[in-house]
Structure 1
């Protein structure tokens, strides 16, 4: 582009979305970390079971706001920011271990919801954690909702040297996260990630997904170490043994526009996932949202809320 050619004008950003049910924040100590919880409604002894909602990788608890706004009031809803995301403290580490999410979840439930059976919901990585936890502590979960927590591709022992070398190389050159000159840059990043996300919702999310720092730029509310590869290979058989211990009825929701190849190429097919889901002994209810991709709670929050409420009330 020549110096005399004007740059294309940026698309206007809409005013931020206005939540119908604003959340309140609570902080608790979980395994030495100051954990942030986003809460809607009040916990009561005689009310419906509370619903604990677990966000996905590179996301934050505020991501559930649009779905919450479409749900009826009367049930307490709680969504933590996972360690190193959102307003939860970052551990002093260069590597995140998946087992720590399960440890955090167990202690979080002990701290906030002791002696209660709860309903548990997870999206993507949060769905993976919810499935494993429901198999480890089946007595604690009344109903389980999995929003596109597909699990991970199968690995082989022969993959170990390459994976460990990749991890060692990343420790030498740690991953970085992009920063943005203005909040509008974050808004456009969110809409590029998901073209179905309306501008007003992207503008609202940007203020929770990122924050201005001392350098005057907007930085994502996430530890860059989350982008690093895990040195531990995923063992499918171990996960399936936990899935088979689940006792709670399961609601599986996916989007008709989701393409697994976007995530894993040819390493993990829809057919393989279906075979894994078929191993569950707990009853499974299925729902598919026709106009949704992976971010179901952004694409069709009203339809998703209706599916969840129908399942929890059944």
Structure 2
């Protein structure tokens, strides 16, 4: 199994009726911005371990488990759907608690990249430098889609309440690892075995359950608004490095409804942008090429 070169430690912060789990590497360094890493949908903070191990510079690194993922838990039953602005407020309060007013270097992957982009436009003074790993946003929508979207949201919440949307449980950690390798054929066995024990945990019956709330699968009731997104992007004052993988995730997901070219067009709203592509990598580029990714991030942050 993969052996972490720089093991993390866990801290918990109680905010907004949630016990937020933070994975921490290193200690604060005078004159150095904290490095905050935010994970994607159906992922966990431990997912950053391979990149942390590949960094050449010692940093104070903070990586939260988003609400409904990993070890972040609430006081009561989980919600029946999630609202994107909650991630912004959760991050804002966690930064208040951990770093105060000190500007940070913020790196986000996928959904976390979307949160990082939005947060950096809403709180531009808090971000020194920003790195977005395949946080593309969503396809453009039209008002005429709203009635069906609300109906879809209601139907999916009802299905969740009937127990029809539960996440699959696995017989063993090895079965979870096989699932991870099926999703990402580039993931080697040793990393899959290690990730499986971070991504899932055994329940009372001995089955391994994914550390993610099934309600995350419920569609957002509100349509994605590109004009709002661009207005927020225009407020980003930090230099941005946008990193994509050589595999075209956009083409696979959206089938022509939203393209990589359209994403790069949206990035023109940001004042200072650099772009980079990592070869021989898919959407989970922080698993596929952690050394190449770490070098790009370090060069940019320096």
Which TM-score band applies after superposition, normalised by the shorter structure? over 0.9
Residue 172 of structure 1: how far off its partner (Å): 1.6
RMSD, aligned CA: 1.0
Give the counterpart of 2:227 among 220, 226, 237: 237
For residues 81 and 173 of structure 1, the distance between their equivalents in structure 2, rounded to whole angstroms, comes to 26
Query: In the alignment, which residue of structure 1 is the partner of 2:297?
Result: 308
Give the counterpart of 1:272 among 262, 267, 270: 262
8 Å contact from structure 2 (residues 34, 105) kept in 1: yes
Q: How does 1:1-314 map to 2 (within 5 A)?
A: 16-44=1-29, 46-90=30-74, 92-174=78-160, 175-281=165-271, 283-313=272-302
8 Å contact from structure 1 (residues 54, 61) kept in 2: yes
Secondary structure of the corresponding residue to residue 242 of structure 2: strand
For residues 101 and 84 of structure 1, the distance between their equivalents in structure 2, rounded to whole angstroms, comes to 11
Deviations 1:137-177 (A, max 9, x none): 11110000000101111111111111111111112211221
**Aligned length, in residue pairs:** 296
For residues 89 and 43 of structure 1, the distance between their equivalents in structure 2, rounded to whole angstroms, comes to 26
8 Å contact from structure 1 (residues 31, 107) kept in 2: no
For residues 58 and 265 of structure 1, the distance between their equivalents in structure 2, rounded to whole angstroms, comes to 22
8 Å contact from structure 1 (residues 258, 292) kept in 2: no
8 Å contact from structure 2 (residues 68, 78) kept in 1: no
8 Å contact from structure 1 (residues 255, 290) kept in 2: yes
Residue 241 of structure 1: how far off its partner (Å): 0.4
Secondary structure of the corresponding residue to residue 243 of structure 2: strand
Residue 37 of structure 1: how far off its partner (Å): 0.3
8 Å contact from structure 1 (residues 52, 120) kept in 2: yes
Residue 73 of structure 1: how far off its partner (Å): 4.0
8 Å contact from structure 2 (residues 132, 243) kept in 1: yes
Query: Under a length normalisation based on structure 2, what TM-score does the superposition of the two structures give?
Result: 0.96
For residues 101 and 52 of structure 1, the distance between their equivalents in structure 2, rounded to whole angstroms, comes to 14
For residues 290 and 245 of structure 1, the distance between their equivalents in structure 2, rounded to whole angstroms, comes to 31
Q: Which runs of 5+ in 1 are unaligned?
A: 1-15
Mark the structure with the bigger radius of gyration.
Answer: 1
Query: Under a length normalisation based on structure 1, what TM-score does the superposition of the two structures give?
Result: 0.92
Structure 1 moving runs of 4+ over 6 Å: none
8 Å contact from structure 1 (residues 251, 286) kept in 2: yes
8 Å contact from structure 2 (residues 141, 224) kept in 1: yes
